């Protein structure tokens, strides 16, 4: 089974990601992994940190002579900012006078709940791990999952649907999303340039006022064969796995598959994707009138594009802070502020791509098995042949 975990704090020495269960013989393109890391650092509305760091994957294990060898893959991402934090966050006891306390919890962040849970008298250690810096580690191993999926024809990308009050009015075709990713500059990763400008104006407004914004991204998985995931057991349903994977990202507060939200308010006759048998391409000749199901029915991929949306709450660190309480005195004070992003929808989309890719890779390996890529790809081809002859 494909499994992964991460370690590391926002201002610690490094992040580490561990991925096990990847078959042997998968070619690893480190430049691709680094480009994915770069993509996570882009977007209008990011904080100062993105200017001081350019993440680079340092592969410690599991890859030799450019290919996976079936053993666990460990990837290290150095935190360049660590050099400024060695005295504030030492592994050893250090000098308490040099610690950087977070004296008043930020509403919306993990500060208060984390301090209560772990019995800390302030929130420094809480935000160090709760911070979305951690998502960089997921993007590194998500890139490995993407390379795996490519071998069986699957691609995963995202685009931005909403920033603040501005929303793309129309669904976006895969080809447009793919074209968006050829750009070497990322503004808000929106497929419509005019709408993207209006999104930028939304960010400009909160930059001026010291506020923050949320939004919606959509992850699209292209050429997923029918048959990943199953209704047979609750925790094997693909929709449930994807929802948990995307919801696990920092600041994501709702996840939608296909047109899930609008579907709840509409009649069945307008929602369900009627079935025909005239498709000229795809895994079978079965065709659909539209894809409101977002590529999943009964917890199983149905051969259409998988579309998953993540809804982000606004960033909780505000330059014009909200009301809070001092951890020590319990007196009313403004919430703590330290350098922060004001809008992260494009970056969250990239992190969600990683989570979707890791989930699909896990389900693909559950279905096709294999300890080497030769075996996995052979099994995949055998299955797609079976679908053609269905
Ligand atoms: C890519 C990304 C970057 C983020 N950057 C910040 C940030 O700079 N400041 C901040 O307060 N929150 C940021 N967040 C959100 C917090 O990490 C998140 O709100 C916090 O950990 C509490 O978790 P929760 O919102 O899931 O409850 C970011 C989230 C993502 C996905």
Q: Tens of pLDDT along 286-303? A: 999 999 999 999 999 999
CB-ligand 1 contact for 139 (6 Å cutoff): no
- Ligand 1 atom at shortest distance from the alpha carbon of 350: 1
- The stretch 145-154 carries a mean pLDDT of 98
- Of all residues in the chain, the percent with pLDDT exceeding 70 is 99
- Whole-number Å distance between alpha carbons of 98 and 100: 6
* 351 C-alpha to ligand 1 centroid (Å): 12
CB-ligand 1 contact for 102 (6 Å cutoff): no
CB-ligand 1 contact for 251 (6 Å cutoff): yes
CB-ligand 1 contact for 317 (6 Å cutoff): yes
- Whole-number Å distance between alpha carbons of 358 and 361: 5
* Contact (CB, 8 A) for 371 and 1: no
- In whole angstroms, what separates CA 70 from the centre of its chain? 25
Longest dimension (CA), the chain: 72
CB-ligand 1 contact for 347 (6 Å cutoff): yes
- Whole-number Å distance between alpha carbons of 347 and 313: 14
pLDDT at residue number 47: 84
Who wins on pLDDT, 53 or 89?
89
- Ligand 1 atom at shortest distance from the alpha carbon of 317: 11
pLDDT at residue number 50: 66
Residue 52, pLDDT > 80, answer no
Of 8-17, 42-51, 63-72, 227-236, the range with the lowest mean pLDDT is 42-51
- Whole-number Å distance between alpha carbons of 101 and 115: 12
* Contact (CB, 8 A) for 69 and 284: no
The long-range contacts involving 152-155, CB below 8 angstroms and separated by at least 24 positions, are 152/225, 152/364, 152/368, 152/376, 152/377, 152/380, 153/223, 154/221, 154/222, 154/223, 154/224, 154/360, 154/364, 155/221, 155/222, 155/223
Residues 6+ apart with CB under 8 A from 362: 1, 2, 21, 241
Report the candidate in 219, 205, 132, 208 with the shortest Cα–Cα distance to residue 163: 205
Residue 51, pLDDT > 90, answer no
Alpha helix (H) residue ranges in 210-307: 238-247, 260-263, 268-271
pTM: 0.98
How confident is the model over 327-372, as pLDDT tens digits? Answer: 999 999 999 998 899 999 999 999 999 999 999 999 999 999 999 9
- In whole angstroms, what separates CA 266 from the centre of its chain? 29
Residue 49, pLDDT > 80, answer no
Cα dist. 365→55, 140, 354, 383 in Å?
29, 19, 16, 13
Who wins on pLDDT, 323 or 184?
323
CB-ligand 1 contact for 135 (6 Å cutoff): yes
Q: Would you give the DSSP letter of residue 234?
A: G
What are 287's strand-pairing partners? 276
- Ligand 1 atom at shortest distance from the alpha carbon of 249: 31
Residues, the chain: 390
If phi > 0 it is left, if psi is from -120 to 50 it is alpha, else beta; for residue 340 that is beta
Arithmetic mean of pLDDT over the chain? 97
- Ligand 1 atom at shortest distance from the alpha carbon of 250: 26
How confident is the model over 372-390, as pLDDT tens digits? Answer: 999 999 999 999 999 999 9
* Contact (CB, 8 A) for 356 and 246: yes
pLDDT at residue number 177: 98
Element counts in the chain: helices (H) and strands (E): 12, 17
């Amino acid at each position: 089974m494909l499994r992964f975990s991460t370690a590391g704090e926002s201002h610690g020495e490094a992040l580490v990601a561990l991925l096990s269960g990847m078959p042997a013989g998968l070619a690893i393109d480190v430049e691709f992994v680094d480009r994915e890391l770069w993509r996570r650092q882009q977007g209008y509305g990011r904080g100062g940190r993105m200017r001081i760091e350019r993440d680079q994957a340092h592969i410690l294990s599991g890859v030799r002579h450019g290919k996976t060898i079936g053993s666990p893959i460990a990837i290290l991402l150095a935190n360049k900012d660590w050099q400024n934090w060695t005295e504030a966050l030492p592994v050893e006891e250090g000098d308490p006078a040099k610690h950087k306390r977070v004296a008043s919890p930020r509403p919306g962040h993990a500060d208060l709940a984390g301090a209560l849970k772990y019995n800390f008298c302030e929130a420094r250690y809480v935000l160090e791990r709760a911070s979305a810096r951690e998502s960089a580690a997921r993007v590194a191993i998500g890139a490995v999952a993407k390379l795996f999926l490519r071998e069986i024809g699957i691609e995963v990308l995202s685009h931005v649907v909403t920033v603040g009050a501005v929303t793309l009015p129309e669904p976006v075709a895969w080809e447009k999303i793919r074209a968006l990713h050829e750009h070497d500059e990322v503004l808000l990763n929106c497929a419509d340039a005019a709408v993207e400008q209006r999104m930028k104006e939304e960010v400009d407004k909160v930059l001026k006022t010291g506020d923050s914004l949320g939004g919606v991204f959509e992850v699209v998985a292209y050429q997923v064969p029918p048959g990943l995931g199953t209704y047979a057991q609750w925790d094997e349903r693909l929709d449930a796995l994807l929802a948990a994977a995307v919801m696990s990202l920092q600041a994501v507060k709702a996840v939608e598959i296909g047109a899930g939200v609008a579907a709840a308010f509409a009649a069945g006759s307008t929602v369900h994707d009627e079935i025909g048998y005239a498709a000229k391409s795809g895994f079978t000749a079965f065709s659909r009138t539209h894809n409101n199901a977002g590529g999943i029915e009964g917890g199983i991929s149905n051969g259409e594009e998988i579309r998953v949306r993540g809804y982000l709450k606004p960033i909780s660190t505000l330059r014009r802070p909200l009301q809070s309480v001092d951890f020590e005195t319990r007196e009313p004070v403004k919430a703590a502020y330290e350098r922060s992003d004001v809008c992260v929808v494009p970056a969250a989309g990239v992190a969600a791509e990683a989570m979707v890719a890791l989930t699909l890779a896990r389900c693909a390996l559950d279905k096709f098995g294999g300890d080497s890529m030769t075996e996995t790809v052979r099994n995949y081809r055998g299955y797609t042949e079976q679908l053609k002859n269905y």
